[in-house]
Structure 1
Amino acid sequence: MKRRFLLKAAATLPFAFAGVTTAAPLRRRVRPGDPLWPSAAAWGDLKRSVGGRLVRLDAPFAGCAAGADAPSCAAALARLKNGFEMGDQPNFTHTSGWLDAWSSQPSAYAVAARTPADVVAAVNFARTHDLRLVVKGGGHSYQGTSDAPDSLLVWTRHMNDVRLEPAFVARNCGTAPQPAVTVGAGAMWIDAYDAVTTRAGRYVQGGGCTTVGVAGLVQSGGFGSFSKRYGTAAAGLLEAEVVTADGQVRIANACTNADLFWALKGGGGGSVGIVTRLTLRTRELPATFGAVFCKVRAADDAAFRALVGKLVEFYARDLFNPHWGEQIGIHGDNTVDVSMVFQDLDEAAASRTWAPLLDWLRAHPGYSFEKPFQVLALPARHMWDAAFFREHAPGFMVADPRPGAPAHHVIWKGDTDQEGWFIHGYKSAWLPAGLLDPTRQAGLADALFQASRHWSVGLHFNKGLAGAPQADIDAARATATNPAVLDAFALAIIAGGDGPRFPGMPGGAVDTVRGRARAQAIGRAMDALLAVAPRAGAYVSESDYFQADWQDAFWGANYPRLAQVKRKYDPDGLFFVRHGVGSEAWSEDGFTRNA
C-alpha cells in the first residue's frame, strides 16, 4: 500500500479519534475457559430469549473419532454430496479450508435466528460478554469468514422468506413505486430466482451458484452470469434491514441511513452490521437466455499462442457487449475451454456471432475440437426452472435428493465440484478494458499464454462491467465496490485445490508439499498476468487469503469512506471479518486488539 493511502485510511479507523476522549477500548475478546466466559446460566438466559434456538456446536466430523463406520460419521460424509444439506448444518461450511491459512472449525454456539429480535439478542449478548461474533447465511466464504472457533455464530439460514413487491417504495423516500423482491438474509439465490423468474417472469441480478446466500453476495458486490447486462447485485439493492452493533434494528436505503446503505452495497459482509432483510430491484426478462460450449486443442505451443491471440481479438470485436458473459478457460495443456452464456439472442444469432472464430479454426491446421461447438437457447423464464430442466436437459442441474426438499432446490452440475473443497491457492485480478485496444491485444495474449504455462487462467467476462449499459455502470459506481470493476472487461481467476479436507474427516489428510507447490504455481501464473495489469484490483469474495494491500485491492478509493461508516456504526469493533473494513485494529483471528 502506498504510504499516502495508508495514512488516509488510518485517519478513519475506528480507534482514531483525534482530540476526543473515549472509554478504554476492549483489548481482548474472551474464549471458553477464560474467567469472563459466560456462565451456563447466562447461556441459558440467551437460549430462553431466542425461543430455545441456541445450539451448542461440535465439529462436523467429531463423531468420526469412533471410526468411519460410526453413524454420525457416515451421516457427515454423506452430507458432502449435497450442498443443500451442508448448508442446513450450522457447523458446516461450503469450503473446508485453505492451505497454511485456515481450517473450518465451528463456533462454540449458534443462534439459529428466525427473527430480527433473535439477531438483536445475539448481538447484545456478544457485546455484553466481549465475545467474538460470526455471521453465516450461505456459508460459501473462501476466506473462512463463515465460522470461527470459540465464537458465537448468528446463523440466518431459517430467515429465508421471499416476497414479491409489485410496487415497492423505500421507506421515507418519495420515489415512484417499482417492482422488487424482498428476501430474508438466509435465502439462497435459487429461492429468489424461483420466485422472481420461474413464477413471476421477471429478473433479479444475483449470483451464478444457486446455493450462495443472497445477503452475503449483495454485501460483497455480487456478480452473476448476466452482470454484463444487468450490473451488480449490490447496485440493485433498494433497502435493507440491519442490526447494528448497538443492538438497534435499522432501515437503510437512499433516504434513511444512507451512509450505512452505501456501505452494505459492496463493502463486505459482516463488517458494519448483520443484515436481516433485503429488497432488490427486479427487471424485465429478455426473450432468451442461452449458452455456448466447446473445447479446442492446439497441436503445439506455437499454435496455442496463435489461438490465444485470436481469442483476444475475437472477444474484443464480437463478444465485448452486454449479450455475453461467463468464462473461457486457458489451460496449460494447450486447450481452450469455452463455457459462455448469452441473453436476448436466439441460437441462430449466437451461432453467427461465433462463425468467424470457427471459420478461422477450420481454415488453419493444428486445431481439433475435444468438445464440439454447441449452442443452446431457452425461454428466459426457464433459466432456473427445475421442472423444465428435468424434462428437457436432465444433465445440467442436480436436485436436492432428500425427501420433502423443495422442488426448486437445484444446483448447476458444474458447481457441485466445489462442495467442501480445500483451497491451495486462489487469486483474482480485474483486467482493464484498455488491454483490448488493438495496440495492446498482443501483450495481453502473450501474458495469458505465459500465465498458462504455470496454471490455468479463467477469464470471467461477466465480472467486469466494461461493455455493460451505461446506466448499469453508473449504478455500480454508486456502490462501495472497487471502482476498478467499472473499467474492467473481465475478472481473471487463477485457482486450485483438492476435495474436502475437514478436520477429523476420514481420508482428509492434507498433502502440504503438493499443495504448496500448486500454490506457488498459481502465484507465478498471476505474476505473469499482472505484468500487463500491474495495479489490478481483486474481487473481495474471490481473492487471495494472503492479498497484500487488501484495502486498496478490494475497495480502492472507497476504503477511507467505508472506514468512516465502520467508525460510526461499530466504534468498538464488535463485527470482525479478517481483511474486512476496520480489521486492521485486530489480530488475525479477531480476538486481540492491536496496540
Structure 2
Amino acid sequence: MKRRELLKAALALPLLPMAVSANAWGLSSRTAVGKVTAWSRVRPGQAGWPSAAQWAELGERLGGRLLQPVSPFTKCGGSPSAECTEALRQIKNPYYIGDHPALTQTSGWVDAWTSQPSAWAVAAESTSDVVAAVNFARAHRLRLVVKGGGHSYQGTSAAPDSLLIWTRRMNRIELHDAFVGQGCGGRQEPQPAVSIGAGAMWVDAYDAVTTQAGRYVQGGGCMTVGVAGLVQSGGFGSFSKQYGTASAGLIEAEMVTADGKVLIANACTNPDLFWGIKGGGGGSLGVVTRLTLRTRALPDTFGAVFGAIRAASAEAYRALISRAVSFYAEALCNPHWGEQMVFRGDNVLRIAMVFQGLSKADAEAVWKPFLDWVASNRDYSYAERPQVLALPARHFWDAEFLRKHAPDVIVPDARDGAPRNHVIWSGDEGQVGQVLQGYRSGWLPSSLLRQGEQSRLVDALFACTRHFGVGLHFNKGLAGAPAAEVAAARDTATHPSMLDAFALAITGSETDPYFPGMPGPGPDVAQARDRARRIDACMDTLLKVAPGAGSYVSESNYFEPDWQRSFWGSNYPRLLAVKKRYDPDGLFFVRHGVGSEGWSEDGFSRA
C-alpha cells in the first residue's frame, strides 16, 4: 500500500493509496427525470430548465466562456477517435485531466459515485464570471458544482445535470511584502503574504513563493491539488508539524455568496464567514475566488528518510511496531518531522518521513538508535535499505533542479507547450484517475504515545494489519507542533481532535482509472467490495483505542454515517449557523457538506 512517494532514489515521500467506488459500478448518482416540486432543482428536460436562448444569453454575457463539457471517452466506441486515443495516452497525466472540464482527478468510487460531466460549465476567468454563474443558477434553480483542482475523493467536484463553475483559469499569483487585511488597519500587523487565484495549483504556488522568492507557504503535498480546495478543507502538508495548517495561514479571502455579492472575509470583515471557510469544506458557503496566505521564512534544508523493513514473523512484526511507536514518541514527535510510517499487512514497515531545519548528519543521528536496533536483530531484513537525503529547501519544488539531480523522482507534463515547472512526484502517478475501492481515516490522540498507553496502540495497529495495511500520517495532527500554530489552527472549523492528534491514520485502496466510455470491463466490483470490507475491519479495530475519533473531511469514508460529528465535531453547530446566514436557501450543495442534511443524496430535492 503506497499513496505518495515524494523522493524515491533521491527524495522519497510515499503516500498511502486512495480507493473506493463509482456509480456506474454500483449505485446510480441520478434519479429519473420526474415532476419538479417547489423544493426541487431542475434537470435538463424538466420544466424550468433554461431555454437555448437563455443559455446563449449567459454565454454572451460571459464573453464565450460558457461550455458544454463532453468527456473525451465518449469518442471511444467503435473505431476510437483521435480525441479518445489522446485521452487514453494522457490518462496518468493529472495536468491533462485538470485541463479538461469534463474530467476529475479521481474517476470514481465503487458503489459510491462515478465521474460524470456537468451539463454546462462556466470557464471563469474573473470574479464577475463567477457572479454571473451564481446568479443564473439561483434564478433557474440549478444544481451548482465548483471545481478548481478537481481532487475530491468524495466526488464533490462533479455532478451530472449541473452547472459547473470551473475556476482553473483564475490562477494569478501575487506576492506581498506587507499585507494587511481589508478593514484591519491598526488591528493587524503587516506581514509577508501571497494572494492566489482560486484555480491555482500548489505546484505554481510553490514555484512562485519558494523556488522564485525563497519563502515558504503552507500547502499540500500533491502538486496538482487546488489551493482553494485544500485551504477550505483544512490543509495539511508535509511540514504541518512546524507550520500548522493551510487554513490557519489564511489571512483573507474574496468570495461570491449565494446572493451574488462579492465579499471580503477576514478576521475583521465578515469574520464568521472567514472562520467557516477555514476548514468548513469547499463549495458549501460560497465560491472562493481569491485567497491570501501568510508566507514564512524558509529553512535551510528539507529532507527525507525512507526505507522498508521486513519482519520474519508476526511476533517479530508486532515487536517492530512497538519499537517504531516508541521511537516516534521519543525522537520524532516534534516540529522537524512529518509524513508517515505505513504498517503493511505483509509484515513490512515502510518509512516515508520528511524533515525540515535539520542537516543530513542531524537526521542520521536521530535515526541511528532505531536503525541500529533493527540491524542487530536477525528477525529483520531490509525490503528497501534506509536512506537519508537532504537538499536546499529552495530547490524542494524546483523542477529544473530535480531534472538535473533527481530525474527519477518527478514525472513532467510532457505535452507540447506545458510549463516547465509542471511536474508531479513520481509516487503520485498511481493516484491519477484512480477508482477508489475503500477509504477510512481517523485522528489518534497523543495520549496513546504515553508509556502506559503505547501497548494498547501497538496491539491495535498489529490487529489492524491482519485485515489491511494502515499508514500513520504524522504531519496530519498537530501534537508536537509549536504552541502558536496549534492556537492558530484552533481558530478554524477543522475538527478539534486534530489539535491533540499525533497522527491521522489512513487506510485505503485504489484501482486503475475508469471514466464512463473508456474501453475495457471497468473496475472489479467483487474485489473492490472485498477490499472495502477489509479496510473497514482494519480501521474499526484500530479505532477501538480512539473511540469517537474525528476524520479528516478531505480524506474520509464516503459512507461515513455520522459525518457531521466525524468531520467537524463540536464545530458543526457554528458552521451550520454560518451556512444559514449566508446561504439560507441552500443554493450551494455538497454531499456530506455543511447543511446537506436538508437535501437528497444528489442535491436535487429537499430531504
How does the TM-score come out when normalised to structure 1?
0.95
Match of 1:212 among 205, 222, 225: 225
Query: Where does 1:88-99 land on structure 2 (aligned, <5 Å)?
Result: 88-99=99-110
Tell whether 2:313 aligns with 1:332. no
Alignment of 1:104-143 (within 5 A): 104-143=115-154
Match of 1:15 in 2: none
Quick one: which amino acid aligns to residue 81 of structure 2? A
Cα offsets for 1:312-342 (capped at 9, x unmatched): 0100001010100001110111000101000
Measure, in 1, the Cα distance between the counterparts of 2:317 and 2:521: 37
Q: Does 1:540 align with 2:553?
A: yes
Query: Shift in Å at residue 508 of structure 1?
Result: 4.8
2:394 to 381, 403, 406: 381
> SS at 2:76's partner residue?
helix
1:476-521: CA deviation from partner (whole Å, max 9, x where unpaired): 0000100000010000000002010211111252211111011000
Residues in 2 aligned to 1:180 and 1:509: alpha-carbon distance in whole angstroms = 45
2:552 and 2:592 map into 1 onto residues whose CA distance is 12
Report the Cα distance in structure 2 between the residues aligned to 1:101 and 1:59, rounded to whole angstroms: 20
Aligned to 1:73: 84
2:95 to 84, 88, 105: 84
Is 1:37 the counterpart of 2:38 in the alignment?
no
1:196 aligns with: 209
Task: Kindly indicate whether residue 62 of structure 2 is the aligned counterpart of residue 50 of structure 1.
Answer: yes
Aligned to 1:59: 71
For 2:56, the aligned partner's letter is G
Distance 1:443 1:156 in 2: 46
Q: CA deviation at 1:362?
A: 1.4
Distance across 1 between alignment mates of 2:178 and 2:421:
26
Residue matched to 2:482: 469
Match of 2:405 in 1: 392
State how far apart, in whole Å, the 1-side matches of 2:300 and 2:176 are.
22
Deviations 1:276-299 (A, max 9, x none): 000000000111100001100001
CA distance in 2, matches of 1:65, 1:499: 20
Task: Please give the alpha-carbon distance, in whole angstroms, between the structure 2 residues aligned to 1:494 and 1:540.
Answer: 14
Listed as ranges, the matches of 1:84-483 within 5 Å are: 84-174=95-185, 175-483=188-496
CA distance in 2, matches of 1:172, 1:309: 52
* One-letter amino acid matched to 2:261: Q
For 1:92 and 1:66, the matched residues in 2 are separated by 22
Read off the aligned partner of 2:351 and give its amino acid letter: V
| Alignment CA distance shift 1:32-1:479 (3 Å) | same
Q: What is the aligned partner in structure 2 of residue 22 from structure 1? A: none
* Partners of 1:238 and 1:280 within 8 A in 2: yes
* Counterparts of 1:576 and 1:403, CA distance in 2: 37
Inter-CA distance 381–508: structure 2 relative to 1 (3 Å threshold): farther
Q: Deviations over 1:199-235 (max 9, x none)?
A: 1000000000000000000000000000010000000
Give the letter aligned to residue 605 of structure 2.
T
d(CA) in 2 for partners of 1:133 and 1:409? 29
Q: Separation in 1 of the partners of 2:520 and 2:447?
A: 47
Q: Is the 2:92–2:433 Cα contact (8 Å) retained in structure 1? A: no
Number of the residue aligned with 2:40: 28
CA distance in structure 1 between the aligned counterparts of 2:61 and 2:38, rounded to whole angstroms: 26
The alpha-carbon deviation at position 79 of structure 1 amounts to 2.3
Alpha-carbon contact 1:26-1:572 (below 8 Å) kept: no
2:540 is matched with: 527
Long gaps (5+) in structure 1: 1-24
Distance in 2 (CA, whole Å) between partners of 1:76 and 1:589 is 28
Letter in 2 for 1:429: G
2:77 alignment partner, SS class: helix
Q: Which amino acid aligns with 1:118?
A: D
Task: Report the more deviating stretch, 51-60 or 95-104.
Answer: 51-60
Q: 1:415 to 1:114 in 2, by over 3 A?
A: same
- Give 1:262 deviation, angstroms: 0.5
Instruction: Find the aligned partners of 1:309 and 1:157 in 2 and give their Cα distance.
Output: 46
Work out whether 1:486 is the aligned partner of 2:499.
yes
Seq. identity, %: 64
Equivalence for 2:30: none
1:502-553, Cα deviation, whole Å (9 max, x unpaired): 1111125221111101100000000110111111100000000001210011
Structure 2: state its 5+ residue gaps: 1-36
Taking structure 2 as the reference length, what is the TM-score of the superposition?
0.93
Aligned-partner Cα distance in 2 for 1:74–1:504: 12
What is the letter of the counterpart of residue 160 of structure 1? N
Q: CA offset at residue 81 of structure 1?
A: 2.3
Across the two proteins, how many residue pairs are aligned to each other?
569
C-alpha distance in 2 between matches for 1:59 and 1:243: 28
Query: What CA deviation, in whole Å up to 9, does each residue of 1:166-225 have, x standing for no partner?
Result: 111100102221100000000000110000000100000000000000000000000000
Displacement of 1:59 in angstroms is 3.0
SS in structure 2 of the partner of residue 61 of structure 1 = helix
What secondary structure sits across from 2:579 in the alignment? helix
CA deviation profile, 1:126-152 (whole Å, cap 9, x unmatched): 000000000000000000001100000
Q: Is the 8 A contact 1:60 1:76 kept in 2?
A: yes
Structure 1 position 26, deviation (Å): 4.7
Within 2, Cα distance between the matches of 1:506 and 1:436? Answer: 49
Counterpart-to-counterpart distance in 1, 2:138 and 2:38: 10
Is the 2:512–2:523 contact (alpha carbons within 8 Å) kept by the matching residues of 1?
no
CA contact (8 A) 1:26 1:593 kept: no
- Letter of the structure 2 residue corresponding to residue 540 of structure 1: V
Cα deviation per residue 1:406-440 (whole Å; 9 max; x = unaligned)? 11111111111100000110000000000000001
Question: What is the rounded CA distance, in whole Å, between the counterparts of 2:378 and 2:230 in structure 1?
Answer: 44
Which amino acid counterpart does residue 215 of structure 1 have in structure 2? Answer: A
1:570 maps to which of 554, 563, 583: 583
Q: Does 1:560 align with 2:573?
A: yes
The separation in 2 between residues aligned to 1:507 and 1:355, in whole angstroms, is 49
Counterpart AA for 1:33: G
Give deviations 1:348-392, integer Å, cap 9, x for gaps.
110010011111111212100111110100111111000111111
After superposition, the C-alpha distances for 1:96-128 in whole angstroms (9 at most, x for unaligned) are 101111000010000000000000000000000
SS at match of 1:401: coil
Letter of the aligned partner of 2:93 in structure 1? N
CA RMSD of aligned residues (A): 0.9
Partner amino acid for 2:440? K
